[in-house]
Structure 1
């Protein structure tokens, strides 16, 4: 079962934006349970820096889910959303819709997600991942976390850019404890790369959980 990203760049706001239009291509194979294929699909970065991409990101998420639904109508598809901004955004730092099989509810919710906030380039990536992994209602079946973002987490190990939290996550989250929790729940991780500013993050993530698309 194919899945694709097609984020089109609409701005040159970020100095290290990718030069091509297509971010990645990979595949997802749902698991079977009682002859019904099951797929849990959810995360997206949604601060101001994502403004040139967020509409395209929404379109791509909808393309993925539409493709799955139409390619295999018997699939039991549950979709959810977890968006993250930054610590300076207070109560708006995290925004989520738990998994639902009501596709129209999901698409309506996506349209309501607006990019804003973020005082520096690093964002609350680990907080967003942790929210999606620990607090969303993952059920049996193939569990997929689709992460689309253009910024690294906080911490000098992830970036040399100006950082309001250079010592890392202020709540004590680390890439290792978040990603190991993800592995323990058998969640497959996919990343949609937008800028080279996430390269160090991806290197660190792969050092913890191995290769991923």
Structure 2
């Protein structure tokens, strides 16, 4: 049976992600054990809160090395919400620049919109060759965030959304994929997206 490690490092939404994956029939381990993370068929890095605080939590459990090891070995990783943001090189919150995991160039910064945070359902614009959004390209997904990347990393497939301006809603980059929205809170469409990701693990 497919085994998924959901990285447990103190972030608030790990259990909801684990439950959403369990409903799809996979075995889910909530763990920060390096060997369990390395051995899983897929790793999910969830995240809520501030970029710098999440990075501090990740470093405390040695997550940067775990993510690096998996990607170097061609092992799939899925980032969700701030778990996507920290894949970028830097985050800027309240004028404080914090280093991310640096898997992609780019800066995560505050949304420039009349109402922040961006909270609720929104349409996305996936690329034509998307895998994550196969069969659900016209669906809406649930966002809760005040910060986002506004420029696309090179050599990646980008899904866009808009709140005040266009921002990166998802990235598909080989074995590293990520969403700014919460698939575990996005109903049937979110469940299908997670199922599409699980199909890439075969």
What range is the shorter-chain TM-score in?
0.3 to 0.5
Taking CA–CA contacts closer than 8 Å with sequence separation of 6 or more, which of the two structures ends up with the larger relative contact order?
Answer: 1
Question: By percentage of residues, which structure has more helix?
Answer: 1
Question: By percentage of residues, which structure has more strand?
Answer: 2
